[in-house]
Structures are given as C-alpha cells and as structure tokens.
Structure 1
Amino acid sequence: MQMTPANLNDLTGKVALVTGGSSGIGRMATEGLAAAGARVLICSRKADACEAVATEINAMGLPGTVEGFAGDVATEAGIEALVAQVKKRTDKLHILMNNAGRTWGAPLGEHPYAAWDKLLSLNVTGMFHLTQLLVPMLEASATQDDPARIINTGSVMGEIPKGTATYSYAVSKGAVHHMTRVLSNDLAPRYITVNAIAPGPFVSKMTAFAIGTEEGQAEAAKGVPLGRVGRDEDIAGTVQFLCGRGAAYISGAVIPLSGGMQSKAQGSLFNQDL
C-alpha cells in the first residue's frame, strides 16, 4: 500500500495483542485498533469479560475484529500459557500493547510489604517477561520501513511525584517508563519500536473509586491544566498513531496523556504573577 497522509493510521492486515483489554484503557485502545482495521487479540484473567467485549466491539461494524480469551500476566506459568495461546491463534504479531496492571493504595506507614511484590510482579516483571517471549514473533513481522510496535501503559504518576498513598503503583510505572527506554535501545536494531503512554485521570474500573461520578471527575479536572479528565478517543487516537506509519520513526518515547499534568508547576520562579 502506498502511504499518503490519509492512510497513515491504517492498520489493515496487522495483528495486535492487548493485555488487560477488557476494560479501561485496554478497552479504549482495543476499540481504536479495531477502528483502524487491525485484528486485535485481547486477554485478561476473566475470559468471559474479554469474550463479551469482543462481541460488543465486533457488533460496531468496524473494519477490524476482536477476539477475547483468558490470559494471566501475573505469573511465569500464566505468561507462558498466554504466549502459547497467541501462537495458536496467529503466526504473525505486529503490535503488543502491555496494558495489564493493578494498583494499591494505603497511607505511608500502612503500605503492606506484600503489596509491592504482588503489584510489581504484574506491572513490571510480567510486562518484561511477556515482551521478551513475544519478541521473536514481533521481529518476524517487522521491516525497517514499518517496524513492529510495543506500547507499554505507564502513568503520569511515573513521571511526577503525585503517587500519594499509591507508592507501589507510582514506583512501578516509573519502572515501566525506564524499561521502555531500555527495550527501545535494545530492540531498535531488530526493527521494533518501544514506546509508552503515561495517562492521567481516565474513567475506568481502577479509578472508579475517585472519578466514577461527574462530581469526582470535576474535582480531578481541577488538577489538570487542560481542565478535564481523559476521554476514550484520547487513548484510541494516540494508540492508532503509535502503531501507524506516521510513528515508524518514534521509539523510546513516553507520551504524556494527562492534559499537561506532567509539566504543571505551581507559581512562578520568583513568586510573582506574570
């Protein structure tokens, strides 16, 4: 296909895997990939949830398709089983979105020791192990002009010290951002780009406790320079871009999706109103 400005985000013929694809940011990304024409495999620990989402998105009449199944990224055995499932379903993989994750909140002095191990096992260790097992499939589908793509879901809390009471989560996302840069450096010669997104507040099951209501969203928006929480299209459009030909020369980037939160600073340097 000849590339033009009109089809830079066309993902027809591409196969993607989105972990944690049945809800939240994973669901938003999945819909965006399917809208661009990709065949999207989604997994989470709950097969029925993934199958239901696949049915819902496939009923939208989008150019692409979605397939849902069970997959656990929290353990070594689960990751190996997930890779086996992917290989049963396809011999090509062009896109890997490492989105599965969990959070934990507790005040300083009460944050459990076990929470760190449980959270980092999924958010960091699982992400890395799944990626390295799928690199051969990604490399086989990659070319210099159209590299394979890896997108890691980080967080604005991995960029700025806003992780109050979510210490293990914030630290894990900082690790995801640096892992993105390290893997980008190592995988570029194999024609695989590695980038991360760093979302701010988006409505999902994970954030429902805080912004599941209009009042909660309005309160959260006060801390966002652009004055609102994230929307589905903010995720979908960014993922389409990172996977399309327009982003074939981008690797090692952490894309802020936080309405400017990553750059927000209070006042001026000399405490004067300018």
Structure 2
Amino acid sequence: MSLTRLFDLSGRVAVVTGASRGLGLQIAEALGEYGAKLALVARKATDLDGAVARLAALGVEALPFPADLGAPGAAEALVTAVRETYGRIDILVNNAGATWGAPAETYPEDGWDKVIHLNVTALFRLTQAVGRDCFLPQGKGAVINIASIEGLMGHHWSRPGTIAYNASKGAVVNITRALAAEWGPRGVRVNAIAPGYFPSKMTYAVLDAHGDTLAGQTPLGKLGGEEDMKGAALLFASDAGGHITGQILAVDGGFTII
C-alpha cells in the first residue's frame, strides 16, 4: 500500500474534544486535511462556530457538537448525536482538559475535583462510550489521548504548583496503556501524545512569566508551534500507525530528555 493511502482518512469520522481552539483545532485541521469528517466538541457553541468556519475555509467538513463533557450523561448523548449525524465514529481525540495552579499544601478541594473529573473521569467515560458503541462492534478504531509532559515528569519548583494536573495526566498515560492492552485484541488502538509547552489559553500565564526560560531549556530552542502536533496525530489516527498502540509520544522539542 502506498504511503498516501496509509495516511488517507477519507470516509472516516473523527470526534475531537476541546476542538474550538489551540491544540484541538490544530489536530482537527490535520485530520480534516487528510479526509476525515469532523465532529468538533467544546462547551461553547459560539467558539465552535468559529472553528467550523475556519475549517470550511480550508475545505474541511466539520460540524459543531456543543457539550459539557463533565455533565452526567454527556458522553452517551454526544456519541448518539454523532452517530445520528455521521453514522459511525472511527477516531476519538481526547483533548478537552483543565488545569488549576496552587501550592500542593494549600491546593483547594474544588480545584482538585474539577481537574480530575474532566481530565480523567470524563475522558474515560467518553472513551468507554465510543469504544462500547462504535469501535468494539466495528472491530476497529483509534483513540488519541492528549496527555502532557507534566504527566511524565515532576513540576519545577519555580512555577506555580499544578499537582492535580500532573496527577491527571499521569492517569491519562496509564489509561492509554491499560486500554491499549485490553482492546488491542479487538482491533482498537489507543495512543497518547504528551505535548510540551505550547502557547494556549491554558498556558498563557506560565509562558508570559517563564516562556523564554522554557524555550532555553528545550534542545530545539523553541516552544511548540501551530503545526507541531499535526504529524503525530495523523500517524496515530491513520493506518500508517496501524502497528502502534499503547505508546506515549512526547512532542516537546526534547524538553523531557535533559
């Protein structure tokens, strides 16, 4: 099979959460460019409308699916809505997430609960629903979890504490491995991308204060850019990654190797 066909996603439906901006929208652009039909998910319908318009200008078919994934029953309702619209789901990108900065010794309970619930519980519930209703009956599917290098390493003392975020992304790493092992024999691949420091709504405060330092500590000498998640996501989503599962790929300019 040619490389062009291995990367081709024509006829496949991809659900991308947290898709109204940032890394989620970047990943959606990549999957759409290679032929996937997109179900874009975020809490605010107005933000999704802007993302749909941007993708339409690129010739990419995408529809908005506003949803609060932390709400009871949200995962099942989303899967039903996407299936009613597109008839199937082939790719799930779990990008939606939250963070909360505070010292560990005074970390608020509501901050911990918010981060763990969205980053871990809601991610699992949506993956469970898509796997149960789509991937496992089809005998094929690809899950791409967006973890973080914060789930692979400690957090530097000079920056605001993010203990719940670190814990949640460490959980995403091992959810990825556990599901890959359990669902692999049934044709479902589960991988994760662990981004380093990318400019986004979630990271602006940290990068404003520490961006130059973080770039200087990165072997490639720069923060993540608007194209840097696309190749990894396309590999994991497509048949080009057909023999890859249970893997965590750091897209961090080498930050975690030093």
Q: Same fold (TM over 0.5)?
A: yes
Q: Give the CA deviation at 1:70.
A: 0.4
The 8 Å contact of residues 96 and 151 in structure 1, kept in 2 or not, is answered as yes
Q: Please, which of 59, 65, 90 is the counterpart of residue 94 of structure 1? A: 90
Q: Which residue is equivalent to 2:223?
A: 229
Q: Please, which of 2, 5, 10 is the counterpart of residue 7 of structure 1? A: 5
In 2: Cα distance, 1:218 partner to 1:7 partner: 41
Q: Give the CA deviation at 1:109.
A: 2.2
In 2: Cα distance, 1:97 partner to 1:224 partner: 26
Aligned residues: 254
Q: Which residue is equivalent to 1:151?
A: 144
Q: Please, which of 121, 124, 149 is the counterpart of residue 125 of structure 1? A: 121
In 2: Cα distance, 1:192 partner to 1:13 partner: 18
Q: TM-score, normalised by structure 1?
A: 0.88
The 8 Å contact of residues 180 and 195 in structure 1, kept in 2 or not, is answered as yes
Unaligned runs of 5+ in 1: 265-274
- Does 133-142 or 106-115 show the bigger shift? 133-142
Q: Give the CA deviation at 1:204.
A: 1.0
In 1: Cα distance, 2:90 partner to 2:171 partner: 24
Q: Give the CA deviation at 1:216.
A: 5.4
Deviation string for 1:243-267 (max 9, x for gaps)?
1111000000001111112221xxx
SS in 1 for 2:145: strand
In 2: Cα distance, 1:22 partner to 1:85 partner: 18
Q: Quick one: percent identity of the two aligned structures?
A: 36
The 8 Å contact of residues 82 and 88 in structure 2, kept in 1 or not, is answered as no
Q: Please, which of 160, 167, 186 is the counterpart of residue 153 of structure 2? A: 160
**RMSD value, Cα:** 1.6
The 8 Å contact of residues 17 and 42 in structure 2, kept in 1 or not, is answered as yes
Q: TM-score, normalised by structure 2?
A: 0.93
Unaligned runs of 5+ in 2: none
Any residues of structure 2 matched to 1:32-181 within 5 Å, and which? 32-61=30-59, 64-135=60-131, 136-142=133-139, 147-162=140-155, 165-181=161-177
Structure (1 or 2) with the larger CA radius of gyration: 1
From the superposition, tell whether residues 7 and 218 of structure 1 become closer, same or farther in structure 2 (CA, over 3 Å): farther
Q: Which residue is equivalent to 2:203?
A: 207
Q: Give the CA deviation at 1:217.
A: 3.7
